[in-house]
Amino acid sequence: MSVTLKDVAQAARVSVSTASRALTGTGLTSERTQQRLTRIARELGYRPNPIARGLKTGQSRLVALLVHNLTNASFQVMAEVVQARLKALGYQMLLCIGGDDAQQESDTLTTLVDHRIDGLIVVPTGKNGPQLKALAKDVPIVCLVRRDDATDLETVLADDPQGAYLGTRHLIELGHKRIGLIVGRQDTTSGRERLSGYVRALREAGITRDDTLIHAGHFVPETGATGCRKLLDLPRPPSAIFVANHEATLGVLRVTAERNIAIPDDLSLLCYEDMPWFEWHRPAISIVDNGARDLANLAVDRLLHRMDAKGNGNDGVREYRVGARLIKRDSCRRLDTPISARSTKPTSSPSKSSAARSAASKSSAAKPAKV
Amino acid sequence: MSVTLKDVAQAARVSVSTASRALTGTGLTSERTQQRLTRIARELGYRPNPIARGLKTGQSRLVALLVHNLTNASFQVMAEVVQARLKALGYQMLLCIGGDDAQQESDTLTTLVDHRIDGLIVVPTGKNGPQLKALAKDVPIVCLVRRDDATDLETVLADDPQGAYLGTRHLIELGHKRIGLIVGRQDTTSGRERLSGYVRALREAGITRDDTLIHAGHFVPETGATGCRKLLDLPRPPSAIFVANHEATLGVLRVTAERNIAIPDDLSLLCYEDMPWFEWHRPAISIVDNGARDLANLAVDRLLHRMDAKGNGNDGVREYRVGARLIKRDSCRRLDTPISARSTKPTSSPSKSSAARSAASKSSAAKPAKV
DNA sequence: AGCATTTATGCAATCGATTGCGTAACTGGC
DNA sequence: GCCAGTTACGCAATCGATTGCATAAATGCT
């Protein structure tokens, strides 16, 4: 079917070994034969068979990325970044979707090492620590976004304590004192850390923590919906909600829409992790940006590093943090400003005019996009 | 490192061949040895090496999906569906992102066949017909969403003529006569077909086509922004815009937001291809659903079929269509109903006050929410 | 010129499976 | 009890590369 190394060798009247050495550039062949074989290989349209090579070398030029889903915008960005980076280096990305499910994750991991992947970037569920640890002996692994506490793997995390702190502080600075928090499951790194950042900001501001304002739950829209309802039904509902559970955002929006709640006039809304449409939503939604692109890039960097320094095990195992950034748009309002001052009428306070919006988008455009 | 067939064979005191036959279940071994070997293999934790197997059999248990990006919600859905279906059958999905770029597509295709993929589902750019055609001799290929006219590959398409027709007719039925169309590049199947569906609906309604209302462009948000501006700047702007270019939707929303245009009061908006947040947007955005999930499922079905009937080449090459569906939400209004009847304020010119906003959201609350 | 090195090449084993062919062992029919 | 026909298994080749070891050729050194 396709041209093999043997064909090339025969055409050049040399042995397969020589052909192999010439084409892989081991420097063990004469300049002349090397060039001659390169030419002949090109003429014949020879393409090395990665499977055959892989059998011998134990490498596959395949790197896997295991994420929970593709609905989460951060995971989309990560998938695109990882794929682009790897392709440039001659690797193919195996994208796997684990659904944040322990069993699926476990199965997938097994299949992946069967396929002799050269590296793995994984967003761990945290429930397969032992397995991950075992696999790490055979293949370089980098954890992304979440830590798996049962392992000591290299890990690239968002700075969630800082992000949640920044977001909460922003709301406090706008005059909010009762701030609802909808956050992820507390058995995940991000869930815990975002809660802690929120708590710290409150403490610093001298606001006593009110647990009825905190709703932790699974990473699904329903969490947002029920959490939001619970918060709004409180005797003294919050004036702002910080949705630090990305997937929950849709649920929150649904409930505020159903209940006819105007944002930011009736309620300020701050979300976590950017999505393309947050900027075009009306009002544009302010967010804490977790830096998905930079997280992915760093994870790839670290993985490549480990793949190069193969074998030199867990000497330099380290944890990295990518800083969070607050991106102010139009979904949070200053509490002390009366609502009437914010409508279309020409006033001094910033309105939702196109000027304000374009300013917001300008600030986000100011950051240079990478990759 | 890992347990090989040889280890299993030795442990069972049989030859590798017997072990192989017993474990792959060829029926060429006695019942007893088969069971014994299965047991021993399990005890030893034997996992067949797909690379070694692949070298001999020429198969990799890898199936590739090549899409343009992961931003488009349809592609996200397709990736998730394909991955899930394939995994259930013991295949791994290689997800590739081609960026709708001919060169990238070509490179990727080459790499993929190098890796001896067992099958390929591709959203073609349409610019690598010859290459695709050549590859189709070696590996089963199914085209998805777009046809590549230079080939005669099995193709699964959305029913874009019908979808665009349904959408346009819906707007016409609401009383709209001047309907702007923002549509994809005319060198793509979907671009052409959606335009034709739009034209047909107009013709049937006896509305003469006005080319100043039609804006075709690349599949990027900018197309929506410039198209929308062009339409709004017309001496007689349209009363409705049909955004039949999915990626352009964000651009359109940005412009309408910038210009303070109330939807659906000032302008009706109908989009193409669903996204999770369309339903939660305020107003909820009516769409023509292209059936991404069903498209992906059908593509997998067809691919598996071809992979089974391997070699029996292009006998049954066929084109499939998955029907479109109109999903009415709140972004299109009936033209003959005066606005005053819909908004709380008794004025003709809608403002961006919270009153206007809550009016819009009230109508959205009336629709029962799905999902 | 003669010997020691370096350089370039070939032979053959190897990676871990699958598979055609040959053969011993077993079955059944008469 | 003998022979044909299965059945179960082993031997060895094979897939397409890489690589250790041996050797021939080219070079350097005195």
Region A174-180 average pLDDT: 97
Contact call for B362 and A276, based on CB within 8 A? no
Does B311 score more than 60 pLDDT? no
B positions 4-23 inside 8 Å of A (CB): none
Does A313 score more than 70 pLDDT? no
Does A276 score more than 90 pLDDT? no
Task: Name which of B2, B96, B258 is nearest A357 (Cβ-Cβ).
Answer: B258
**Distance of alpha carbon A260 from alpha carbon B100, whole angstroms:** 41
Contact call for B354 and A87, based on CB within 8 A? no
- Those residues whose C-beta lies under 8 Å from the C-beta of residue B369, and which sit 6 or more positions away, are A254, A258, B279
Which bases in strand C are touched by protein, i.e. have an atom under 7 Å from a CB?
7-12, 14-20
Of A69-73, A297-301, B178-182, B291-295, least confident by mean pLDDT is A69-73
Of A101-110, A253-262, B137-146, B307-316, least confident by mean pLDDT is B307-316
State the residue for tokens 């960026």: B99
Region B243-250 average pLDDT: 94
- The pLDDT > 70 percentage for chain B reads 89
Task: Name which of B60, B71, B354 is nearest A262 (Cβ-Cβ).
Answer: B354
Res A347: pLDDT: 36
Of A215-229, B302-316, B356-370, least confident by mean pLDDT is B356-370
Quick one: DSSP state of residue A74?
A: H
- In this predicted model, what pLDDT tens digit does every residue of B150-170 receive, in sequence order? 999 999 999 999 999 999 999
- Those residues whose C-beta lies under 8 Å from the C-beta of residue A168, and which sit 6 or more positions away, are A179, A181, A197, A198, A201, A202, A242
- In this predicted model, what pLDDT tens digit does every residue of B42-51 receive, in sequence order? 999 999 999 9
pLDDT greater at residue B199 or residue B353:
B199
Q: Are strands A319-322 and A154-158 parallel, antiparallel or unpaired?
A: parallel
**Distance of alpha carbon A54 from alpha carbon B349, whole angstroms:** 69
CB A347 under 7 Å to nucleic chain D: no
**Which residues lie across from A92 on neighbouring strands?**
A62
- The pLDDT > 90 percentage for chain B reads 75
How distant is C1' of D18 from CA of A28, in Å?
14
Residue A129 banded pLDDT, cuts 50, 70, 90: very high
Please say whether the beta carbons of A37 and A15 come within 8 A.
no
Does A1 score more than 80 pLDDT? no
Please indicate if any CB of chain A lies within 8 Å of the CB of B42.
Answer: no
Number of helical H runs and strand E runs in chain B? 13, 12
**Distance of alpha carbon B64 from alpha carbon B80, whole angstroms:** 13
- Print burial letters for B173-182: b (CB count within 10 Å at least 16), e (below 16): ebebbbbbbb
Res B370: pLDDT: 37
Does A47 score more than 90 pLDDT? yes
Does B302 score more than 80 pLDDT? yes
Distance between the two ends of chain B, CA-based, in angstroms? 48
- In this predicted model, what pLDDT tens digit does every residue of B273-288 receive, in sequence order? 999 888 878 788 999 9
Number of helical H runs and strand E runs in chain A? 13, 12
Of A19-28, A246-255, B12-21, B267-276, least confident by mean pLDDT is A19-28
Please say whether the beta carbons of A60 and A115 come within 8 A.
yes
Res B343: pLDDT: 44
Mean pLDDT score of chain A, rounded to an integer?
88
Q: In this structure, which amino acid lies at residue A347?
A: T
Res B352: pLDDT: 41
Mean pLDDT score of chain B, rounded to an integer?
88
Res A183: pLDDT: 98
Res A317: pLDDT: 82
Closest CA to B95 of A93, A84, A113, A90: A93
Please say whether the beta carbons of A310 and A140 come within 8 A.
yes
**Exposed, middle or buried by CB within 10 Å (0-12, 13-18, 19+), for A315?**
exposed
Does A368 score more than 50 pLDDT? no
Closest CA to B204 of B165, B238, B175: B165
- In this predicted model, what pLDDT tens digit does every residue of A75-122 receive, in sequence order? 999 999 999 999 999 899 999 999 989 999 999 999 999 999 999 999
Region B330-349 average pLDDT: 63
Residue B92 banded pLDDT, cuts 50, 70, 90: very high
Residue A242 banded pLDDT, cuts 50, 70, 90: very high
* Confidence (pTM): 0.86
Please say whether the beta carbons of B280 and A247 come within 8 A.
no
Does A232 score more than 50 pLDDT? yes
Residue A360 banded pLDDT, cuts 50, 70, 90: very low
Give all strands of the β-sheet with A179-184 in edge-to-edge order. Answer: A214-217, A179-184, A240-243, A268-272, A286-289, A325-327
Residue B350 banded pLDDT, cuts 50, 70, 90: very low
**Distance of alpha carbon B370 from alpha carbon B271, whole angstroms:** 18
Quick one: DSSP state of residue A316?
A: G
**Distance of alpha carbon A231 from alpha carbon A215, whole angstroms:** 8
How distant is C1' of D9 from CA of A240, in Å?
76
Of A101-115, A309-323, B8-22, B200-214, least confident by mean pLDDT is A309-323
Res A333: pLDDT: 96
Of A211-215, A365-369, B9-13, B31-35, least confident by mean pLDDT is A365-369
Q: In this structure, which amino acid lies at residue A315?
A: D
Task: Name which of B69, B71, B80 is nearest A97 (Cβ-Cβ).
Answer: B80
